[in-house]
Amino acid sequence: MKPDFSKQNGLLPVIAQDAGSGNVLMLAYMNEPAWNKTIETGKAHYWSRSRQKLWMKGEESGNVQLVRQIFIDCDSDTILLKIEQLGGAACHTGFESCFHRLYRDGAFELVGVRVFDPREVYKK
């Protein structure tokens, strides 16, 4: 059994979860080439919808995701990666998790800690 890439225009959602803490770090998408590269290398690869290209998480920042376990849902169309996050940050904005804003009392508040400055890392 493997993911069913015939659904959802060939892009399946992928949840990246810290294998140690259980924290959800990010949501991304995989196509079949990204899946194959992830299996081949043991490092998380995704399809960038904005850049329209395959990319390895951390290829620019160095914050690579080492895959420890892979789960698939009951419909074979959502992937859960339990990963070891190198560099301490999964979010391209420099936070440990992309989910660093908490909705409370009618507004979102910052609850995460920035691990790196993206302007320095990405030089953009």
pLDDT at 34: 98
d(C-alpha 87, C-alpha 36), whole Å: 24
Q: Domains (ranges, CATH) in the chain? A: 10-122 (3.10.20.810)
pLDDT digits (tens, 9 = 90+) for 69-122: 999 999 999 999 999 999 999 999 999 999 999 999 999 999 998 999 999 988
At 124 the pLDDT is 66
The Cα 119–Cα 27 span in angstroms is 22
Q: State how far the Cα of 56 lies from the Cα of 45, in Å rounded to an integer.
A: 4
Q: Which amino acid is at 32?
A: E
Tokens 């959602």 correspond to 13
Q: How far apart are CA 41 and CA 34, in angstroms?
A: 11
Whether the per-residue pLDDT at 22 is higher than 90: the answer is yes
53/95 Cα distance (integer angstroms): 23
